[in-house]
């Protein structure tokens, strides 16, 4: 583009080199005013200034994206998450904000991130634990304190029995899971404190289907209530056993050797997750713990802890009978 | 003896119970179900109480508690082989596909009105690393450094997990919405 080819006296012979400085804001006020006056009458200089501005923009975009001349990153910058969360250093933030001015894909990414962030914040406001949980926690920590005191009082024999149980059942990994061994101790304690007490059940019925229905209502889980009549134990009823597991149900039976507790822990609860897989735990094991006989086993649906004040050798056939007759 | 036990319990409750809701939120995001979340929280408080002697009082109780919660959850998952990584991340081709909007359009607006239950259910389908990062930062409002301490990873990893997790959650929620509209 030359003044000659465009014709007319309104065109400079050559564009003013100070136009670049004008564009970059580098001219002193007096020089800027002079050049702006000239631009009003010189179409060539106006064309030159527009061309310089276009080149400047293009170069800035290129510098910001470092990806060439298109407006899209190959993949959005993961620092966009940090930008949204206010986790970027000022220098990085400025760099990313400059980039956002020219990259539509990163802008879209940022909008999407913000949408999800807002959505999750709204969701968080709706998440409240049930009022019962706090009460359960109070009870749990209270019982845990009680348990730790009892452990202090218990002779080493109790601990040795627990270790022996773990070794015998091949569940040595439980030794690193204090809650699991505590769970067995809790089951024994519940038997001694509640099953042998004056009110062993909260739902009294000898009808196994009625007890199963009650347990299902309490827990939302299906339970199979074992029938021990063939081995001399009649069903007294059931109670919830939340200190062993939130959805644990203790079934209480009575026979010639006294009362028996069969605590069922349905699969799915974290306490269940600490049990081994059914394949590794399908055999029934019996041992003595805290002066009681204790048998444990599991199937695909539940883990079972049976406790009675009989020798383990006497408890084992009962446990095997239940395990063999479970669906 | 009895007195010191009571003092210990009171100190535990004073430090840890204020974080019950935060623990529940994380548990809910990890397990995807109310009852499992409450079970997990109860186990966490039991374990925390048992290990309270090892906690340095008046430090970061929330981070300590949530670290325990996460460990219990992950241990349980490992032992039970419970939930495989169900959904792969989008492949390189899919990730490179340009997004054709940069302002909150109708789809984003709809995302914001989805019910919490749907959001949580979809969140629970994400891979654990993304779910954890979203739960700690977006649900729980943690800074990256605190989340990184709980997750045992660098701050930069938290950032990239958040970034990909949010995009993946957005994609899944759009699918949920599309299926809802089609059904």
Contact A137/B143, CB-based, under 8 Å? no
Residues of B whose CB is below 8 A from A111? 101-104, 108
pLDDT at residue A162 in the model = 39
pLDDT at residue A119 in the model = 86
Provide the β-strand partners of residue A235: A253
Rounded Cα gap, residues B163 and B129, in angstroms: 12
Contact A82/B144, CB-based, under 8 Å? yes
| B94-103, B120-129, B173-182, range with greatest mean pLDDT | B120-129
pLDDT at residue A171 in the model = 32
In the block, tokens 């109780």 appear at: B61
Rounded Cα gap, residues B125 and B89, in angstroms: 12
Indicate the average pLDDT of chain A. 74
Rounded Cα gap, residues B23 and B40, in angstroms: 9
- Which candidate from A115, A127, A149 shows the least CB-CB separation from B108? A115
Residue A48: how many CB atoms within 10 A of its CB? 21
Q: Which of A76, A110, A127, A180 best tests the B interface by mutation, with the highest count of B CBs <10 A?
A: A127
Contact between B172 and A119 (Cβ < 8 Å): no
| A152-156, A211-215, A316-320, range with greatest mean pLDDT | A211-215
The C-alpha of B151 sits at a distance from chain A's nearest C-alpha, in angstroms, of 17
Contact A111/B20, CB-based, under 8 Å? no
Q: Which residue of A has its CA nearest to B163?
A: A81
Per-residue pLDDT, averaged over A286-301, amounts to: 80
pLDDT at residue A309 in the model = 92
- pLDDT band of residue B112 (cuts 50, 70, 90) is low
Q: Per-residue DSSP letters for A62-74?
A: HHHHSS-SSS--S
Q: Which residue of B has its CA nearest to A247?
A: B39
Q: Does A149 touch chain B (CB under 8 A)?
A: yes
Checking if the pLDDT of A113 tops 70, the result is yes
pLDDT above 90 as % of chain A? 16
Residue B93 or B10, more confident: B10
Q: What is the 3-state secondary structure (H, E, C) of B140-152?
A: CCCCHHHHHHHHC
pLDDT at residue B27 in the model = 93
Residue B93 or A137, more confident: A137
Instruction: Identify the weakest region by mean pLDDT among A6-15, B110-119, B158-167.
Output: A6-15
Per-residue pLDDT, averaged over B138-156, amounts to: 92
Q: Which of B166, B167, B171 best tests the A interface by mutation, with the highest count of A CBs <10 A?
A: B166
CB contacts under 8 A, A 155-214 vs B, are 178-179, 182
Residues of A whose CB is below 8 A from B34? 130
- pLDDT band of residue A227 (cuts 50, 70, 90) is confident
H-helix or E-strand spanning residue B27 = helix B20-31
Rounded Cα gap, residues A326 and A299, in angstroms: 8
Rounded Cα gap, residues A47 and A54, in angstroms: 11
- pLDDT band of residue A252 (cuts 50, 70, 90) is very high
Nearest to A249 by CA among A228, A220, A229, A277: A220
Q: Which of B102, B130, B132 best tests the A interface by mutation, with the highest count of A CBs <10 A?
A: B102
Tell me the CB-side half-sphere exposure of residue A304, using CA atoms within 13 A. Answer: 33
**Is 0.85 exceeded by the ipTM?**
no
**A131, two tokens:** 């009022």
- pLDDT band of residue B150 (cuts 50, 70, 90) is very high
Checking if the pLDDT of A18 tops 60, the result is yes
Contact A81/B162, CB-based, under 8 Å? yes
Residues of A whose CB is below 8 A from B139? 120-121, 123-124, 127
- Which candidate from A107, A268, A270 shows the least CB-CB separation from B43? A270
Alpha helices per DSSP H over A255-307: 270-273
């Amino acid at each position: 583009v030359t003044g000659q080819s465009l014709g007319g006296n309104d065109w400079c012979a050559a564009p003013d080199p100070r136009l670049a400085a004008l564009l970059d804001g580098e001219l002193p006020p007096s020089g800027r005013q002079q050049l702006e006056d000239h631009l009003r009458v010189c179409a060539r200089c106006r064309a030159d200034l527009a061309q310089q501005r276009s080149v400047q923009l293009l170069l800035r975009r290129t510098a910001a994206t470092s990806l060439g001349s298109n407006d899209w990153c190959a993949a959005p910058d993961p620092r966009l998450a940090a930008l949204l969360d206010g986790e970027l250093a000022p220098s990085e933030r400025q760099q990313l904000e400059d980039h956002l001015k020219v990259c539509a894909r990163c802008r879209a990414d940022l909008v999407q991130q913000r949408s999800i962030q807002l959505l999750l914040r709204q969701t968080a406001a709706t998440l409240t634990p049930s009022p019962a949980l706090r009460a359960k926690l109070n009870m749990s920590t209270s019982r845990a304190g009680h348990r730790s005191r009892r452990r202090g009082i218990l002779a080493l024999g109790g601990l040795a029995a627990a270790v022996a149980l773990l070794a015998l059942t091949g569940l040595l990994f439980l030794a690193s899971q204090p809650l699991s061994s505590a769970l067995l101790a809790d089951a024994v304690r519940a038997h001694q404190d509640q099953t042998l007490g004056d009110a062993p059940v909260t739902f009294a019925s000898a009808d196994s289907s009625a007890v199963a229905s009650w347990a299902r209502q309490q827990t939302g889980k299906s339970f199979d209530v074992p029938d021990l009549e063939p081995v001399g134990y009649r069903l007294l009823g059931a109670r919830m056993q939340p200190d062993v597991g939130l959805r644990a149900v203790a079934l209480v039976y009575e026979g010639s050797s006294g009362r028996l507790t069969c605590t069922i822990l349905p699969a799915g609860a974290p306490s269940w997750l600490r049990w081994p897989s059914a394949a590794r735990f399908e055999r029934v094991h019996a041992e003595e713990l805290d002066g009681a006989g204790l048998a444990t086993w599991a199937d695909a649906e539940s883990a079972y802890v049976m406790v009675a004040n009989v020798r383990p050798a006497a408890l084992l056939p009962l446990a095997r009978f239940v395990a063999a007759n479970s669906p | 003896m009895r007195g010191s036990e009571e003092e210990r319990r009171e100190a535990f409750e004073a430090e840890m119970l204020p974080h019950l809701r935060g623990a529940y939120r994380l548990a809910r995001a990890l397990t995807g179900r109310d009852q499992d979340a409450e079970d997990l929280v109860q186990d966490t408080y039991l374990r925390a109480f048992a290990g309270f002697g090892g906690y340095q009082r008046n430090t970061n109780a929330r981070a300590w508690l949530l670290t325990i919660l996460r460990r219990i959850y992950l241990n349980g998952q490992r032992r039970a082989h419970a939930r495989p990584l169900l959904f792969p991340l989008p492949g390189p081709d899919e990730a490179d596909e340009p997004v054709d909007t940069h302002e909150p359009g109708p789809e984003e607006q709809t995302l914001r009105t989805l019910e919490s239950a749907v959001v949580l259910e979809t969140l629970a389908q994400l891979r654990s690393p993304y779910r954890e990062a979203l739960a700690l930062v977006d649900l729980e409002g943690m800074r990256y450094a605190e989340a990184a301490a709980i997750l045992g990873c660098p701050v930069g990893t938290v950032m990239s997990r958040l970034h990909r997790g949010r995009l993946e959650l957005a994609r899944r929620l759009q699918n949920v919405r599309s299926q809802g509209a089609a059904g």
